[in-house]
Structure 1
């Protein structure tokens, strides 16, 4: 046998021992490295990793503040908050969004509209780890079904939140406005810190104007979460500061009465307390249910509202711009007297028409045969157009424009009414700039009876009426009455800018007020039927605004004119004549005559405020010393 085939046992043993030593040294080095690393993690970098661990385990969450409540003048609740359960999704914690949404659709009744709204909000800029709502107002059965599958849906939660609710829905929608989800444009202008966690913001009306007051201050809480991001417990909490409660001048009873008086007819009623400027009622009919807009109105519901020919979303009281017609005559009478264009006993002959020059175009009076000899008092009582044609000619457009602007026409004279339009107070400069045409004498004649280019809103007419009731003392219309906190009301209202309208002869105010009283309760007043039998004295002026023009010799026949082409019926007034407690402006679209349609509505508003609600409505009780004789 050859020598190479014998084993060298000693050599193999030495080789094995060397290998074992190397392996032991390698294992030792690995163990030493592991111990060193453990020492570094557990001792040297302990604070660092403790902090990182807490960040995964403990999260800071914003706590939105409860929105302030809104009350009427008698502390009747107009806007409150109610808890609503919704299912929300945190995209950063969802593994597969499409699969999660598909699974949720199988558990809940998720409509295509809900999914479309969710996808739209998913694409919009938002704060990291902010929940995106998928479905609102879950039922108890839906919450239970979702709880069964909760472990399968990371990033999906059932959240309870306070959502705005309007107990009187349609009744207060145009006056209060409404809140809605914060959109992209609003997200760019709001304070991201104070609105962290807040999903709703005021969109219109009082809710928008007093957003800073109603919103409150955000709070925070530290919460412990598990690996799926679900909250286990609250470790610390800084409570949010609720928004301030707001009280309005609005009287819910009078607001409801205004809606009932319009009885579904298109129109608006504005009632103002002359002594304070407080808006007692602001009704626009038809209206809409503001609650539908809070969490997002459905496409069919919005289409129904927006495509309705009655325009329920249109706020006629603030944004409806109409020719004022003869309701402008009391203001024109003040202008004519103070400018010297006419005197109180100045009389003219009214043959039923007016001509700027003999044989020229005739401007007709509403009474085709004319009124005969009339002075200013009779011209007001019988609404003689010819008298005011001549007065307008004497004054000229510049004088008329100057006085009407001091009554608040052509501007938004309110303090806190969001969305009010300024109407149109025409002038030669305006016509030249907008129509590239000169101002003609005939334009002045039309302006003399509130027709032509002149446009005003019901709120402007009520404001001007309150100025007459106050005998020239300006009190800008406002909705805010009080804030239930330490903040003074004046802190949130713009500075008043209107000076009192002082006349050369202050008794002209009384003269015009008495002439307006003749309209309602005089033997020859155009609205005497509406004023008959009252236990108090009232003043007013009816008006009729043409919707379409007639030919020169054509007579108006309401029966032959389609309903939506009939004249608008208007009325302004205040009561009692001495120590006025309420000023009202009424418009009934396509209602026909102001005396027959709008005046009875105003009379009913007077009765409601002075006779029904006076014992409990603050500020509406007629003074025994100053006006007992006037009322009785």
Structure 2
């Protein structure tokens, strides 16, 4: 907030019989300085400058120039003060002189100087009065007529984003300027070849070649390419008319696997420039546009260096530095993410639409956070073409959508949570079996046409918790939910964080029990017990709710930055060690004895739970099915991996997702 100091001295006082005394030069200077501190330059010029000053300096050299300098130099906290002349006697035939102190903050640091201002008594259209003799030295001490004020900026080195092992996710690397040397071009055919190779128009190339600075034997840059654009660089190397030069450029070494998480930087927009006015950004600056690059912009960008110069026009005169500030590099940011795990999981998803998250059950650190399919942020840093952006935005798999931020019906992956709530409430005995016959069930005729269906009616009776998980029996969990009752079930889900914002560094959709947090019927209670109805879960939260089964009953606040304190308890006392041991055994049996056969691999003993959530059409017809698998290494238990793949109805169900997860774990554990 600008701070202005105006010293108004010698205010006029009504004298005898209402007579108004003539203002003294100090009165006039006090008013002038008041306008100056308020940056009211037009009023200063019109009402206070001497006739000679006005003739020497037109309004644009006074008002417009100073207003422009305020903007260009980032001037704030302008403070102009003068020393009062007590008991002075003023001779209208002589100039009245006052010492001034002028101070301000600029984008290159503070500027302060002393100067002397003179006022002369003369008659103008407004009448006789004291007027300021002005020249550019009242803007800056050494500024003379004809001199220019220039700003030279030096960009700060942007901080890098690295994983938990220091592996670069967003780094200051190299890229390429692609262009031509005019002397090597022979007619329109070469221009056409350049246009086709670089994806430009002949008109834009001609425009670049016609710039005033272009010389026949000098390289003229036309576009940029990232280091990852290997085929394009190979094509340029093979060309006789296009060449390239290395240039500093932001790099994203892991490409698509981290596109949604790191985001990318790009040219600042006019809207951003206006929004960030006064914060040191220029029209040619790069700024975080998506993901962590945008969220961490203030930490990463650093502080640009700047030098404010008076460029002297007199022959032989040297430029004068008014203020200078060296650039300060941005901060590096270390994530809790394991780049090798994230890459293994992303690659295992084979470009299928979905999301995945991995967390440590020991302290809640986020080890992977993935949206698939991804996009390569290197394409954006080099300057993505409109055609390519349209291709991405119209892709039916929607690679620009950040799926890990959304929430989805979790299906049967919620059943272990339902079981844990029932066991802790004392309404579910894991050893006690239920007699369940047929493929569908309803409590009684009050349910009308609503019935709970199960996929495996061949499951042998009695159905205890282990069989219910192995066969993923919806009827068993619906009956257990009815047994514990709506209030107990809602309280249990709330204790696991449903209906509450996930305490995480970036905004994610919250998991919900239902649209309004209530369960309005027994049918809705039954549906919710196996992850349908209106229940939704975010993928990171879904991984987190399995933590209590492995660590003694706690959900930790998930962390993303290494600077955050890990192991902060979010929810605790959720399950006893005995009940957790039962679930661990059952979840291993889901893989070895159940229908997650693709996860039953020799390389890694996997435990987990599959889930399939059917999305009904507008008229209740069968629709898309999303598949889930939440899993972990049954012996090491060093992370929990939750994965979701959309539209698996033609891929064999959720075992399809189990296969992806198993492949990711196998690759990760073989290499680590």
TM norm structure 1: 0.67
Structure 2 residue 422 is the aligned partner of structure 1 residue 341: no
Structure 2 residue 584 is the aligned partner of structure 1 residue 513: yes
Structure 2 residue 285 is the aligned partner of structure 1 residue 199: yes
Distance 1:55 1:245 in 2: 45
CA pair 506-51 structure 1, distance change in 2 beyond 3 A: same
Partner of 2:659: 600
C-alpha displacement of 1:367: 1.6
Deviations 1:199-220 (A, max 9, x none): 2332332223322221212322
Q: Is the 8 A contact 2:604 2:666 kept in 1?
A: no
C-alpha displacement of 1:183: 3.5
Structure 2 residue 552 is the aligned partner of structure 1 residue 471: yes
* SS of residue in 1 equivalent to 2:545: helix
Q: Is the 8 A contact 1:270 1:282 kept in 2?
A: yes
Structure 2 residue 444 is the aligned partner of structure 1 residue 357: yes
C-alpha displacement of 1:262: 1.2
Structure 2 residue 531 is the aligned partner of structure 1 residue 531: no
Structure 2 residue 301 is the aligned partner of structure 1 residue 215: yes
Deviations 1:249-285 (A, max 9, x none): 2222222222221112222222222223222222222
CA pair 601-334 structure 1, distance change in 2 beyond 3 A: same
* SS of residue in 1 equivalent to 2:640: strand
Deviations 1:581-626 (A, max 9, x none): 01001112122445521112222233333x3243xxxxxxxxxxxx
What are the residue-to-residue correspondences of 1:243-258 with 2, within 5 Å? Answer: 243-258=330-345
C-alpha displacement of 1:303: 1.6
CA pair 299-196 structure 1, distance change in 2 beyond 3 A: closer
Deviations 1:320-367 (A, max 9, x none): x32111000011111111122212222211113221215854311112
* SS of residue in 2 equivalent to 1:349: coil
Q: Is the 8 A contact 2:405 2:538 kept in 1?
A: yes
C-alpha displacement of 1:452: 1.3
Structure 2 residue 402 is the aligned partner of structure 1 residue 315: yes
Structure 2: any 5+ residue segments left out of the alignment?
1-116, 119-133, 179-190, 205-216, 223-245
Q: Is the 8 A contact 2:254 2:343 kept in 1?
A: no
What are the residue-to-residue correspondences of 1:106-117 with 2, within 5 Å? Answer: none
* SS of residue in 2 equivalent to 1:544: strand
When structure 1 is superposed on structure 2, of 457-466 and 325-334 the one drifting more is 457-466
Partner of 2:83: none
Deviations 1:376-435 (A, max 9, x none): 12211221111101011123333323222332333442421x3422243216x457xxxx
When structure 1 is superposed on structure 2, of 448-457 and 190-199 the one drifting more is 190-199
Structure 2 residue 152 is the aligned partner of structure 1 residue 61: yes
Deviations 1:51-89 (A, max 9, x none): 2239934523343322101112222221123577999xx
How many positions carry a matched residue from both structures?
480
Structure 2 residue 141 is the aligned partner of structure 1 residue 141: no
Higher relative contact order (CA 8 A, sep 6+): 1
Partner of 1:405: 494
Distance 1:114 1:386 in 2: 68
CA pair 143-390 structure 1, distance change in 2 beyond 3 A: closer
What are the residue-to-residue correspondences of 1:68-467 with 2, within 5 Å? Answer: 68-82=159-173, 141-142=219-220, 163-187=249-273, 189-190=275-276, 192-195=278-281, 199-223=285-309, 225=311, 237-294=324-381, 297-319=384-406, 321-352=407-438, 353-358=440-445, 360-361=448-449, 362-369=451-458, 371-416=460-505, 418-426=506-514, 429-430=516-517, 439-467=520-548
Pairing partner for 2:646 from 572, 576, 589: 589
Distance 1:390 1:311 in 2: 39
Distance 2:390 2:548 in 1: 41
CA pair 505-254 structure 1, distance change in 2 beyond 3 A: closer
* SS of residue in 2 equivalent to 1:313: coil
Q: Which has the higher strand share?
A: 2
* SS of residue in 1 equivalent to 2:152: strand
Distance 2:667 2:257 in 1: 17
* SS of residue in 1 equivalent to 2:368: strand
* SS of residue in 2 equivalent to 1:542: strand
CA pair 497-186 structure 1, distance change in 2 beyond 3 A: farther
Distance 1:480 1:114 in 2: 47
Distance 1:46 1:545 in 2: 74
Q: Is the 8 A contact 2:557 2:570 kept in 1?
A: no
Q: Is the 8 A contact 1:465 1:574 kept in 2?
A: no
Q: Which has the higher helix share?
A: 1
C-alpha displacement of 1:458: 1.9
CA pair 547-273 structure 1, distance change in 2 beyond 3 A: same
Distance 2:202 2:160 in 1: 31
TM norm structure 2: 0.63
Deviations 1:426-454 (A, max 9, x none): 16x457xxxxxx82221111111111111
CA pair 365-595 structure 1, distance change in 2 beyond 3 A: same
C-alpha displacement of 1:184: 4.8
CA pair 386-74 structure 1, distance change in 2 beyond 3 A: same
Distance 2:482 2:331 in 1: 53
CA pair 504-308 structure 1, distance change in 2 beyond 3 A: closer
Distance 1:281 1:497 in 2: 19
Structure 1: any 5+ residue segments left out of the alignment?
1-39, 88-104, 116-138, 145-159, 432-437, 482-488, 557-564, 615-632
Distance 2:338 2:441 in 1: 45
Partner of 1:544: 612
Q: Is the 8 A contact 2:174 2:251 kept in 1?
A: no
Distance 2:203 2:292 in 1: 29
Distance 1:46 1:305 in 2: 55
Deviations 1:109-138 (A, max 9, x none): 8978999xxxxxxxxxxxxxxxxxxxxxxx
CA pair 141-400 structure 1, distance change in 2 beyond 3 A: same
CA pair 205-114 structure 1, distance change in 2 beyond 3 A: farther
C-alpha displacement of 1:501: 2.5
> Over aligned residues, Cα RMSD in angstroms?
4.0
CA pair 516-549 structure 1, distance change in 2 beyond 3 A: farther
* SS of residue in 1 equivalent to 2:362: coil
C-alpha displacement of 1:315: 1.5
CA pair 233-539 structure 1, distance change in 2 beyond 3 A: farther
